[in-house]
Amino acid sequence: MSTELSHVETIKQRSCFLRGSLIESLADSHTGAIREDDTAIIKFHGSYQQDNRDLREERRQQKLEPDYSFMIRTRTPGGVVTPEQWLALDAIAIRFANHSLRLTTRQAFQFHGVIKRELKATLQAINASLIDTVSACGDVNRNVLVSANPLLSRVHAEVHDWARRLSLHLKPSSRAYSELWLDEVPLAGAEPESEPLYGETYLPRKFKIAFAVPPDNDVDVFAHDLGFIAIIEDGKLAGFNVSVGGGMGTSHGDASTYPLLGHLIGFVTPQQLFVVAEAVLTAQRDHGNRAARKHARLKYTIEKLGLDSFRSEVETRAGFALGDLRDFRLEHNGDRFGWREGHDGRWHLTLRIEAGRIADRPGAAHLTGLREIAIVHHGEFRLTPNQNLVIANVGARAREEIDALVQSHGLDLHRRATPLRLNALACVALPTCGLAMAEAERYLPELVQRIENLLAAHGLQNAPIHLRVSGCPNGCSRPYLGEIALVGKAPGRYNLMLGADRRGQRLNTLYRENSDEAAILQALDALFADYAATREADEAFGDFLVRRKIVTTPRQIPLEVLA
The catalytically annotated residue of 106, 476, 489, 503 is 476
The catalytically annotated residue of 206, 382, 489, 506 is 206
- Which DSSP string do the residues of 334-387 spell out, in sequence order? S---EEEE-TTS-EEEEEP-GGGEE-EETTEEHHHHHHHHHHH--SEEEE-TTS
In angstroms, the CA 341 to CA 393 distance is 9
In angstroms, the CA 538 to CA 530 distance is 15
In angstroms, the CA 145 to CA 244 distance is 15
Q: What is the residue type of 119? A: L
Phi/psi for 316 (5° steps) reads -65, -45
> Are the CB atoms for 213 and 150 separated by under 8 Å?
yes
In angstroms, the CA 550 to CA 542 distance is 10
Query: What number of H helices and E strands is found in the chain?
Result: 17, 22
The catalytically annotated residue of 35, 336, 352, 472 is 472
Strand, coil or helix: 176: helix
Q: Does the annotation mark 493 as catalytic?
A: no
In angstroms, the CA 23 to CA 186 distance is 14
The catalytically annotated residue of 35, 427, 503, 506 is 427
Instruction: Sheet with 338-341: list strands edge to edge.
Output: 80-81, 380-383, 389-394, 347-351, 338-341
- Which DSSP string do the residues of 473-522 spell out, in sequence order? TT-TT-GGG-SEEEEEEETTEEEEEE---SSS-S--EEEEEEE-HHHHHH
Q: Does the annotation mark 206 as catalytic?
A: yes
Q: What is the residue type of 483? A: E
Q: Does the annotation mark 476 as catalytic?
A: yes
The catalytically annotated residue of 75, 102, 205, 208 is 208
In angstroms, the CA 445 to CA 429 distance is 14
Instruction: Sheet with 145-146: list strands edge to edge.
Output: 145-146, 209-212, 226-233, 236-244, 263-268
Q: Does the annotation mark 472 as catalytic?
A: yes
In angstroms, the CA 309 to CA 312 distance is 5
The catalytically annotated residue of 106, 205, 433, 503 is 433
Instruction: Sheet with 101-103: list strands edge to edge.
Output: 47-51, 68-73, 109-114, 101-103, 357-358
Closest alpha carbon to 130 in 182, 207, 184: 182
* Residue 384, Ramachandran bin (φ over 0: left; ψ between -120 and 50: alpha; else beta): beta
The catalytically annotated residue of 35, 43, 142, 311 is 142
Active site members: 73, 142, 206, 208, 427, 433, 472, 476
